[in-house]
Amino acid sequence: MRANVILFWVLTGFFALSAAVYIFWTTIDENEPGVEWVGLVAISLSGVLSAFIAFYLGRVHKEQGGELPEDRLDANIDDGDAELGFFSPWSWWPIMLAGSAALAFLGLAVGVWITFLAIGPILVSLVGWVYEYYRGNFAR
């Protein structure tokens, strides 16, 4: 957690420096004299947000005192490797579900009627993925 706190404080400094450079850069512009406020506010608020996150993570680390594997110098790579779950290496259902979801989001972007066409494949893919161990060669 300490590494994350340091990373976010560095990010806060980066955004503060970027805001200062942005103020200078936009004031010396010949075409538009003055500060361009939209970019300045966006960069400044990004710095404020990263400072909030760094402060929060620092307080949590101080109160809980837990050390993550990336904070210790004697840690191995396997120390931070958590169990992510069981995934079937032969399953085609996640690929079909991703394609169906992509079709649905394409429909939201292009035309809503395409989303209605994607509802069927989404349901079939979701049911197939959930129940793939209940039928066929891998039934339990």
pLDDT, tens digit, for every residue of 76-123? Answer: 877 777 777 777 778 899 999 999 999 999 999 999 999 999 999 999
Start-to-end Cα distance in the chain: 41
pLDDT of residue 77: 78
Contact 119, 103 (CB under 8 A): no
Give helix 112-130 / helix 93-109 axis angle, nearest 10°. Answer: 160
Question: Which pTM value belongs to this model?
Answer: 0.55
Q: What are 42-80's pLDDT values in tens digits?
A: 999 999 999 999 999 999 888 887 777 777 888 887 777
